[in-house]
Amino acid sequence: FRINMTELELMEELGRGNYGTVKKVLHRPTNTIMAMKEIRLELEESKLNAIIMELDILHRAVAPEIVEFYGAFFIESCVYYCMEYMDAGSLDRLCGAGVPDHVLARITHAMVRGLHFLKDDLQIIHRDVKPTNVLVNRKGEVKLCDFGVSGQLEKSLAKTNIGCQSYMAPERIQGESQNNLGTYTVASDVWSLGLSMIEMALGQYPYPPETYANVFAQLTAIVHGPPPELPAGYSEEAEAFVAMCLRKDPAQRPTYAELLEQPFLVNDKTREVDMVGWVAKAIDHRDVHRTVSSSRLDQPGSVPQ
Ligand code: ADP
């Protein structure tokens, strides 16, 4: 069935991204809560239609590690994209002071399974692996979203990605500067996975912009510097796993099948991990910090005790 706007009851805003806003909505005919992303595109109707058709492949992207796609439509120059509502939000905001080893293993396991499924079953390369594109719910489930399925959509979104947080692999950064597009391989996503793991462990992006004089210096560090490592306190298995993902030479990085065989993920299979408890704590931590920073904004000059 097709979803259209008249069937949706708009609820609160969930967040804002680079390209538009995400709102919580109720789909009345099925009584389903969804997340609806609005992407504003200045395009003619035939191009918008092409995007909606290309997005259709997402109906086949059904797996426990992938955020479910419910449908897309357009009104005037906006594409509306309806997906599963994930009530704990994105992973970047849940990592606070860093995730413990066993939780890191469980999250990484979900990410690798999801990426492997996209590649093997649908021949899709994600192209934008990073903690903001990993969503979590209070059941402790971890799922990927925002992967590149529509060539037309990718082309239309302004390429403003070279921001202060680049998850791009060294070979991608070099490729961009040589104008060598279209060479994206799974190995580049494996790099982004490794970088995302370090960010989860540190609770912050591994190449913090304040360390570098400018974006050029930061990108130079990614391309020519040694790859980052996990902070102290993680298992040898975790360290070895991240080091493989962050090999500078893309040909030396493991495939998803190989990653699934690594002790770091094999050990996770039989281990009890209280993901529900971790998510609940992470949400509390996030919301406390949000309250503190918003009360600071309300009362400039006051120092929270
Ligand atoms: P970006 O463009 O930066 O990737 P998005 O537009 O995808 O960001 O999302 C913005 C924010 O909206 C996210 O950080 C997240 O908090 C929220 N969000 C996105 N999708 C969902 C969803 N399916 N369920 C719940 N919250 C979501």
Which one of 13, 23, 27, 37 would you pick to mutate in the ligand 1 pocket, going by the greatest count of ligand atoms within 8 A of its CB?
Answer: 37
Q: Judge contact between 89 and 20, C-beta under 8 A.
A: no
Question: Between 281 and 17, where is the model more confident?
Answer: 281
The DSSP secondary structure of 144-212, one letter per residue, reads E------HHHHHHS-----SS-----HHHHHHHHTT--S---HHHHHHHHHHHHHHHHHTS-SS-GGGS
Provide ipTM, 2 decimals: 0.96
CA 139 – ligand 1 centroid, Å:
18
Return the residue whose CA atom lies nearest to atom 13 of ligand 1. 15
Query: Catalytic: 128?
Result: yes
Q: How far apart are CA 96 and CA 201, in angstroms?
A: 9
pLDDT for 294: 56
23 a known binding residue?
A: no
Residue 299 has pLDDT above 50, yes or no: no
Q: Judge contact between 207 and 222, C-beta under 8 A.
A: yes
pLDDT for 14: 95
CA 97 – ligand 1 centroid, Å:
21
pLDDT for 73: 95
Torsion 281-282-287-293 (CA) sign = positive
CA 18 – ligand 1 centroid, Å:
10
CA 84 – ligand 1 centroid, Å:
11
Give the model confidence (pLDDT) of 42-100 as tens digits.
888 999 999 999 999 999 999 999 999 999 999 988 999 999 999 999 999 999 889 99
Looking at residue 104, the DSSP 8-state letter turns out to be H
- Other Cβ atoms less than 10 A from the Cβ of 17: the count is 14
Residue of 128, 146, 189, 268 marked catalytic: 128
Return the residue whose CA atom lies nearest to atom 11 of ligand 1. 15
Average pLDDT value for residue range 287-304: 57
Residue 155 has pLDDT above 70, yes or no: yes
- Other Cβ atoms less than 10 A from the Cβ of 302: the count is 9
Which one of 132, 196, 283 would you pick to mutate in the ligand 1 pocket, going by the greatest count of ligand atoms within 8 A of its CB?
Answer: 132
